[in-house]
Chains A and B, each alone.
Chain A
Amino acid sequence: MAVFTTGAELAPLTFVVTRADLIRYAGASLDFNPIHWSDRVAVKNGLPGVIAHGMYTMALAARALTTWAGDPAAVTDFSVRFTRPVIVPDDDSGVEVVISGVVKEVAEDGTAQVMVTAVSAGEKVLGQARATVRPGRLLDPAE
């Protein structure tokens, strides 16, 4: 099935990240680094304030990938560099992270190479983010 076509720009998805999201993610992911919940510790580490877990941003990008693929199991390879922090204010509205993607290549079996861009507060927060995505791979009788 042809979910992806080479060169296609994938519809950007916007996620809102609040302090409450980071607290919940810390508990669920078992990453309790205080720079993700304490302004005091974040500032001591040279940051402007609490930042999102890099892995939380990666998880949002993964949501975009599975949404574009229409298959929660489609991602077979995913790599990112954490180039800039997502700064999350202590307010009720949080900060936006916008995930967009471009299909670089599609193989005959439908496997696509996707370049991902993540932007927050006007800055790219992930570098060299690329994924291999194969929609419907487990339903393929050839496997």
Chain B
Amino acid sequence: MPLNLSYEGHSFPPGEPYLVGREKIREFARAVGADDAAYHDPEAAAALGHPDVIAPPTFPTVLTIPLAARLFAEHPDVGIDFSRIVHGDQRFAYERPVRAGDALVCRPVLEKLSSRAGLDSVSVRTEIVTVEGELVVTSWAKIVARTEA
């Protein structure tokens, strides 16, 4: 299915809140080899001014990758086959670190869609906010799909 350029600028409603747990942060930190105490030990995090353990910088990928997979599966008319995509670029801008106890929702917008030379690309901006409405981090991701066999 061709890329549906009319989705440019389209936003999607936030899904169910993601509750950030200490053990998920620890699991992610171990998986990337991040052994700073603030990612693992609430007391060490508190000594640096954080209310609970904080997540390594790229942790929001735990929310944004499954979100993108779900969006393109639930909206096949966008025209992105998630099984054929690669990640083109990624940016995070942080208001503060994600931390254990955050209940986060994602507000995705398809900022830019383009189709050229056998490649479709979609740039997704996602604001990640607490259920109380505090912006924590903004993610920009470019998803690229090859359209030729």
Contact = CB atoms under 8 A, between A and B. Distances in A.
A29 B62 contact: yes
Given A73-B50, A138-B49, A78 B92 contact: yes
A55 B49 contact: no
Interface in A73-115: 73, 75-82
A45 B84 CA distance: 8
Interface residues of A, number: 35
Contact of B89 (A56, A80, A138): A80
A82 B32 contact: no
Contacts of A55: 58, 61, 65, 87, 90
Nearest to B141: A55
A72 interface: yes
A140 to B, nearest CB: 9
Interface residues of B, number: 34
Dominant secondary structure of chain B at its interface with chain A:
mixed
B65 A31 contact: yes
Interface of A: 15, 21, 24-25, 27-31, 45, 53-56, 58-60, 62-63, 65-66, 71-73, 75-82, 128, 138-139
Contact of A77 (B84, B88, B91): B91
Contacts of A31: 61, 65
B149 to A, nearest CB: 11
B27 interface: yes
Contact of B88 (A60, A73, A81): A81
Given A62-B56, A73-B48, A79 B32 contact: no
Contact of A76 (B30, B65, B87, B93): B93
Contacts of B39: 72
B90 A28 contact: no
A72 B56 contact: yes
Contact of B92 (A60, A71, A77, A81): A77
Given A28-B31, A29-B31, A73-B50, A79 B57 contact: no
